[in-house]
Amino acid sequence: MGSSPIVNITDPQYAELLLSNSTHISKGVVYSFVVPWLGDGLLTSKGAKWHRQRKLLTPAFHFKILESFMPIFFEKSKLLVKLLDKEADGKTTFNIFPYITHCTLDIITETAMGIQINAMSTKNNSYVDALYGACGEISNRMATGWLRSDFIFYNTSYGKRFLQYLSTLHGTTNRVVNERKDLRKKQNSNNEQIEDEFGRRKQKAFLDILIDVSEDGTVLTNEQIREEVDTFMFEGHDTTTASISWTLFLLGLHHDVQEQVYQEINDVLQNDKPLEFNNLSDLKYLERVLKESLRMYPSVPTISRTTSADIRIDDYIIPKGSSVAMHIFDFHRNPKYFPQPTKFDPDRFLPENSKDRHPYAFIPFSAGPRNCIGQKFALMEEKIILSYILKNYKVTSTQTVDNVNPVVELILRPHEGLFVTLEKRK
């Protein structure tokens, strides 16, 4: 890349050398483009600081906390199904991607910050616009060689726009952190519980958990809390949107698989029983479908590291300080591990078919100590949203694998969107 050499790895056995230990945890240079937004949050930090943060944040993803988010997942999924109703005449072709994005944005904003932005029900929202805008500028910068220099970038209209978006994003998160702290102080001094408009005890957001562990700024300052919340916002909506959308695309092409998923959902939710936390693990076939979709279209197709020591890969020495890109997309389509890699076959993930596979052959959430901290959250959210959609509608894709055009814009995104028709289930 210009004057900077990059080592590209496409076989998972070599990625294991980098990912399985804590030595090489410093991220590649491209991550520096998100630092003005996310600062030293969990995704971008390194060394001892990262170790400390990871230990501090791991309890926030405990299954008890995730379980407490279920009502939010349900409420947003229900609204999504309602909004999709107007498209569901079996004939209208429409792009489902923005619907899913707005739904996951509503979910992550409420679970991370405890506020409602109503991306699904309102059109103009400065926070949502700034979030899209900032992601667009970062992705454009990554793809455009001459914008990589800070000096050039910040002197162009791209860089200036980016700073405006950041000012809205940081302004919102800072305000929410401060308001939340004040509210908690007030309620604690009055011995009150935080309640919502229905008088229910309001559910703790990730932000509350961060405030709990912050010990009044001695362990985490307001700025550090802001960085972690911004990191969840960044990592936690586009990734799940892509995964849900690609899954719908593949199910819309493979109606036989979709019917099996539909059957499973009906079996688990007999007599219109509502979905519960405990039922999620019964949706085993849906889980295999999700994995196979993440195999073919991993939301994060490439990750990179800067090596902290020399590494030997077969006959080569990769010197300390090298940039190494690990192409998850290629691992997942390597015929050595996945024969006929372009074939959509969820049964690849039956236990008997996966047991002898290389442990790094399928790593949509990365692997090793720096893997995705949000993967359980993501799978839960995806299962719930997909169950709601598929229980109510039969999906048909109007694009094919050949013309859907996946592009890397921070995540693996369908360039023109994902076009489907929906037919109401009886």
CB of 183 to ligand HEM, least distance (A): 23
Cβ proximity to ligand HEM: between 11 and 87 the closer is 11
Based on CB atoms, which residue is closest to ligand HEM, 332 or 394? 332
Name which of 243 and 399 has its Cβ closer to ligand HEM: 243
Joined together, the tokens standing for residue 120 give: 């699904």
Q: How far is the CB of 426 from ligand HEM (least distance, A)?
A: 31
Q: Which is nearer to ligand HEM, 241 or 421 (CB)?
A: 241
d(CA 410, CA 300): 8
Centre a 10 Å sphere on the Cβ of residue 347 and count the other Cβ atoms it contains.
12
Least distance between ligand HEM and beta carbon 258 (Å): 20
Token pair in block for residue 1? 């890349």
**Per-position b or e across 111-145, b if 16+ CB within 10 A of its CB:** bbbbbebebbeeeeeebbebbebbbbbbbebbeee
- The angle at the Cα of 182, spanning 181 to 187, to the nearest 5 degrees, equals 100
Residue nearest to ligand HEM (CB): 374
Residue (of 69, 104, 107, 103) closest to 83 by Cα position? 103
- Give least dist CB 161 to ligand HEM, A: 25
Does residue 94 sit in helix, strand or coil?
strand
- Please report, as ranges, the residues that interact with ligand HEM according to CB under 6 A: 27, 42-43, 54, 231-232, 235-236, 239-240, 243, 299-300, 303, 364-366, 370, 372-374, 377-378
CA distance 46 to 196: 38
Smallest separation (angstroms) from ligand HEM to the CB of 155: 29
Minimum distance of ligand HEM from residue 137's CB (angstroms): 19
Tell me whether residue 261 or residue 373 sits nearer to ligand HEM (CB atom).
373
> Is residue 103 a known part of a binding site?
no
3-state helix vs strand vs coil in the chain, percent to 5:
55, 10, 35
**Binding site residue list for heme:** 372
